[in-house]
Amino acid sequence: MAGVVASLSLCYSSRPNLLLRSSSRPKHLTMAAMSEDPIREWILTEGKASQITKITSVGGGCINLATHYQTDAASFFVKTNRSIGPEMFEGEALGLEAMYETKTIRVGALPTGGSYIIMEFIDFGSRGSQAELGRKLAEMHKAGKSSKGFGFEVDNTIGSTPQINTWSSDWIEFYGEKRLGYQLKLLRDQYGDTAIYLKGYTLIQNMASLFENVVIEPCLLHGDLWSGNIAYDKNSEPVILDPACYYGHNEAEFGMSWCAGFGESFYNAYFKVMPKEEGFEKRRDLYLLYHYLNHYNLFGSGYRSSAMSIIDGYLRMLKA
């Protein structure tokens, strides 16, 4: 969610065109633990620069600090965070690695962990094809499978909210407890919102019928796919950035569609590769709910009504 603007009514990106992996696989970041400035040390060693010529701040994010390092060898994009530990970037790195290994859609970088990530800085091109984005995303979902079930190798973050990824063989249980349930507990503890907590748990206990006759395979998901995490290179090839990866139901990838701008051509191309399952329309809002709950936790009660409306709608539908 790097790049999200903490607005109660809008969801857009002010991130400039940057952060693109070249066609050759970049070297992994090496953290210089003993250095007073490990970022500078890495750039001047592994980055093969002899001098840093300019350092400028890059706008666009409310979770991390972003900086552009210009050198005599190359330009680098650096993300840092002083309030969240290295687990956030470690999770991002493993997610980028997993998406890269599918050899499908292009991803932004392949760093490893620490309290910072260093990436190549390249300007993006113009807007590309949503159909191509849909096709490539479906190919990633089709190629990225896990024999361990639903979850991920490590816990990571969705924005700055912890995302629990302990493996489970049951998607309904995983999504109910580790996605919706975890967010509801945070809302109860942070805001004292017992009303949404109780109604939300009633939904969790009754939502299994929404998945009848559906075969759910663990697909590799970007996990936070909104417009600020989608870009196109100068050849109009789609690029996805800043993941919150895990293996889950492919439909969960559309949970941020309320601020992703996916059009008909996107969905048509996607479902040609990953056919639409029975009941997709009935489950769509269930996956939006997770992100509305997370926005409520991150940015406050302006998102409460959207989340509660979805919960109330399902409780009426399910007669729960």
Q: Name the phi and psi angles at 116, rounded to 5.
A: -155, 160
Cβ–Cβ under 8 Å, residues 86 and 93: no
Q: Annotated catalytic, 170?
A: no
CA distance 27 to 13: 28
Alpha carbon 129 to its chain's center: 20
CA distance 247 to 315: 27
**In whole angstroms, how far apart are CA 90 and each of 40, 110, 158, 189?**
20, 11, 13, 27
* Neighbour count for residue 254 (Cβ, 10 Å): 20
Of 169, 163, 174, the closest CA to residue 149 belongs to 169
Measured CA angle at 37 (ends 228, 124), to 5 deg: 25
CA distance 294 to 288: 10
Reading the block at residue 226, the tokens are 């909104």
Kindly name the residue from 72, 170, 193, 224 that is annotated as catalytic: 224
DSSP 140-182: HHHH-B-TT-BB-SS-EEETTEEE----BS-HHHHIIIIIIIH
Which stretch of DSSP H or E encloses residue 76?
strand 75-80
Cβ–Cβ under 8 Å, residues 106 and 124: no
Of 133, 287, 299, the closest CA to residue 224 belongs to 287
Residues annotated as catalytic (active site), given as ranges? 224
